[in-house]
Amino acid sequence: MPSAATRSLPPTPTTSPLIVSSVTASRPLPRPSVSLAALAAVVFAHDASLGAGWTRANRIIVMVGSAEVRSWLRCYRCWSQNLELQVHYEGIHRVDADTGERGEVIDEIQEAVVQCVDCMHDQPHLRFHNGRIEPVEDSWERMIAGAPWVASCTVTVDAEDVETCSGPEAGDALSHASFGEHGTREFFTHVRFHNHDEDRIVVYLLVELYARSGEDATEVLEAAARGPLAITSLAEESRPPAATGGDQH
């Protein structure tokens, strides 16, 4: 992926406190509801000693069985299980006039991001729900077992769907208009340039996403696109090096 490509991040409330807690694989978590065809365990096949550069020969061997937390509670890029949960909370509560305690919730906003401590990437295949980390069912298998694919493509969107197409926020706005939340949370997107065509905007992008095949990558892009999509090239890349922590296998 070109060095210019960056992942767009959602806005973070500036007035809310930041609570950071660690998430480890030893913490008991609910077993996800998955089909029999789901990944059951992740076994790493090495053709080099731990810490050596990983190539496509280093792959995940998928075994079918009961789903386990270890299958999905890991970084999708480097497979590290050294994860961190960042929770941003902002709320308005009534105050009990007799005790001074916090009372009824009037309004509240909570945003949570799971991040890999080793490679510092966000983990869009994981979510924080009901006090626990859970896998996102329609993406975790693809992202954990897949490889990075880079697409050069265009998406044609309505001009009114683009918040701004100039200034420092243009990249985020055009990425979101092109692919929605996928464009700002999961994909690595780089907007090369855009053209105005009356009341429409044609956005030219480089996109990195994780998929199990070229067909899989194409289907994901087509499902995420918020306008007519044209893919001019699609190529598989090598996986980033795996984490070298002692508890990865």
Answer yes or no: is 173 within a domain. yes
Residue 137 lies in a domain: no
* 5 is a domain residue: no
- Write down the pTM of the prediction: 0.65
What's the angle, vertex CA 167, arms to CA 163 and CA 169, rounded to 5?
50
CATH number of the domain within which 171 lies? 3.30.70
Q: Which residue has the tokens 């996986």?
A: 239
Distance CA 126, CA 146 (A): 16
The answer as to whether 182 is a domain residue is: yes
Domain membership of residue 199 (yes or no) is: yes
**Chain segment 222-247, per-residue pLDDT in tens:** 999 999 999 999 999 998 888 776 54
Query: What are the tens digits of pLDDT across the range 97-152?
Result: 989 998 888 998 888 889 999 999 999 999 998 888 999 888 899 999 899 999 99
What's the total number of domains in the chain?
1
Instruction: Tell me how far apart the alpha carbons of residues 180 and 169 are, in angstroms, rounded to a whole number.
Output: 15
Residue 195: which domain range? 145-236
Q: Is residue 186, in this structure, part of any structural domain at all? A: yes
Neighbours of 47 (CB within 10 A): 10
114 is a domain residue = no
Classify each residue of 125-145 as buried b or exposed e, where b means 16 or more C-beta atoms within 10 Å of its C-beta: bbebeeeebbbbeebbbbbbb
Rg (Cα) of the chain, in Å, rounded? 20
